[in-house]
Homo-oligomer: A and B are copies of this chain.
Amino acid sequence: MELGPGEEFDRIRAIARALGNRAADLGDDCAVLPSRPEALCVSTDTMVEDVHFRLDWLSLEEVGGRAVAAALSDLAAEGAVPAGVLANVVVPAGADRSAVPALMRGAGDSAAAAGTRVVGGNLARGDRGWTIAVTVLGWAARPVTRAGAAAGDRLWVTGTLGGSRAALQAWQRGDPPAPEARDAFAHPVPRLAAGRWLAEHGARAMLDVSDGLAGDAAHLAAASGVKLEIELDLVPVHPATIEEASRLGVAVQEFAAAGGEDYELLAAMPDAFGAAESREFERATGLALTRVGRVARGSGVRLTLAGHTRSLAGFDHFR
């Protein structure tokens, strides 16, 4: 679609050029997508400069990529196939002309890596600081909510936890993070194939642990009306957590379970799902799947380490 005149549309033209085939036709009032028979899944997520990221930590391209990946992670947790990404960008006064295209290149790369495209968005001027609100659309034949876990189910976690927290802790101390910790924070990968695989193999409830395993487990427990029992000893830890946990003098599994910004999945699977199925998952997705606990009658979350009860808080955006 040809765009009309004006500074705002010049900026949209620059974004369209930066995105190339990582964008659909932009510039109409609405993005229009063909319908599908599955349920429509939608999620939206915001990243605010100096709250969720700092530009001395990440490039604008990484900020855009991370915002889209974080939003897509919610589709992964539903077992959905992504169908499009909308990016709502508030641009600080005085931002360089190349800044928005750089941010959107990162957003487009994240969308393309997930097999989808940027289908729309909005640009607004702000007084200061970047805000990126990303909305993602997807389709799921059988959406997996947080609400289906039942006593007797087993709890499984994809990948490893704590990498982002390790990076954050180094930055906040004033040190450069270990490269693999920085990578975990700057380039999270939404677990879309993993989410779909788990949905197709009977997942009863699922969510991403973006607020930390301990905190998000409490949400799954509340939504499902059950109690979750997690053995911290079993939690798969990111390699970079070892040094950072020892600096705090806490067990590495506690450090990992209380970290936020990990975009791994926590799934409640039926009891019959076991070691053979997890190996099948690992072959299919290239990702580890680790059993970390079980679902019981009751409410809340019980965390244990070496048989002792532990109390951990998750990441809370308003704490």
Using a CB–CB cutoff of 8 Å, the interface residues on chain A facing chain B are 1-9, 11, 27-48, 50-52, 74-75, 77-78, 80, 84, 86, 88, 90, 119-127, 129, 131, 133, 135, 137-140, 143, 145-147, 207-208, 215, 218-223, 225, 314, 316-319
Q: Determine the chain B residues whose CB is within 8 A of the CB of A222 once the complex forms.
A: 2-5
Closest 5 pairs between A and B when the two form their complex, measured CB to CB: A4-B219, A133-B133, A4-B222, A7-B318, A29-B74
| Contact status A207-B123, CB under 8 Å | no
**What residue of chain B has the Cβ atom nearest to residue A143's Cβ?**
B32
Q: Whole-angstrom distance between the alpha carbons of A148 and B313 in the complex?
A: 55
**What residue of chain B has the Cβ atom nearest to residue A136's Cβ?**
B30
Would you list 6 pairs from A and B whose C-beta atoms are within 8 A, ordered by A residue? A1-B223, A7-B318, A30-B80, A35-B35, A40-B137, A124-B317
Q: Determine the chain B residues whose CB is within 8 A of the CB of A88 once the complex forms.
A: 44-46, 88, 133, 135
Q: How far is the CB of A116 from chain B (nearest CB, A)?
A: 13
Q: Whole-angstrom distance between the alpha carbons of A142 and B32 in the complex?
A: 10
Q: With contacts A32-B39, A32-B140, A34-B39 known, what are 8 further pairs, Cβ within 8 A?
A: A2-B225, A6-B316, A6-B319, A33-B39, A35-B36, A44-B88, A44-B120, A46-B133
Q: Determine the chain B residues whose CB is within 8 A of the CB of A219 once the complex forms.
A: 3-4, 9, 27
Copies in the complex: 2
Q: If A39-B34, A40-B34 touch, does A90 touch B124 (CB 8 Å cutoff)?
A: no
Q: Determine the chain B residues whose CB is within 8 A of the CB of A221 once the complex forms.
A: 4
Q: If A32-B39, A75-B30, A143-B32 touch, does A121 touch B223 (CB 8 Å cutoff)?
A: no
| Contact status B143-A30, CB under 8 Å | yes
| Contact status A208-B29, CB under 8 Å | yes
**What residue of chain B has the Cβ atom nearest to residue A138's Cβ?**
B30
The residue that A51 contacts in the complex, of B30, B127, B220, with Cβ under 8 A, is B127
Q: Whole-angstrom distance between the alpha carbons of A276 and B199 in the complex?
A: 55
Q: How far is the CB of A136 from chain B (nearest CB, A)?
A: 8
Q: Whole-angstrom distance between the alpha carbons of A45 and B90 in the complex?
A: 10
Q: Determine the chain B residues whose CB is within 8 A of the CB of A140 once the complex forms.
A: 32
The residue that A35 contacts in the complex, of B29, B31, B37, B131, with Cβ under 8 A, is B37
Q: Determine the chain B residues whose CB is within 8 A of the CB of A207 once the complex forms.
A: 28-29
**What residue of chain B has the Cβ atom nearest to residue A124's Cβ?**
B46
| Contact status B30-A122, CB under 8 Å | no
Q: How far is the CB of A27 from chain B (nearest CB, A)?
A: 7
| Contact status B122-A46, CB under 8 Å | yes
Q: Whole-angstrom distance between the alpha carbons of A139 and B51 in the complex?
A: 35
Q: If A6-B215, A120-B43 touch, does A146 touch B316 (CB 8 Å cutoff)?
A: no
Q: How far is the CB of A140 from chain B (nearest CB, A)?
A: 7
Q: How far is the CB of A1 from chain B (nearest CB, A)?
A: 5
Q: Determine the chain B residues whose CB is within 8 A of the CB of A48 once the complex forms.
A: 90, 124-127
Q: Whole-angstrom distance between the alpha carbons of A115 and B220 in the complex?
A: 31
In this complex, the member of A32, A37, A52, A221 whose beta carbon has the largest number of chain B beta carbons within 10 angstroms is: A32
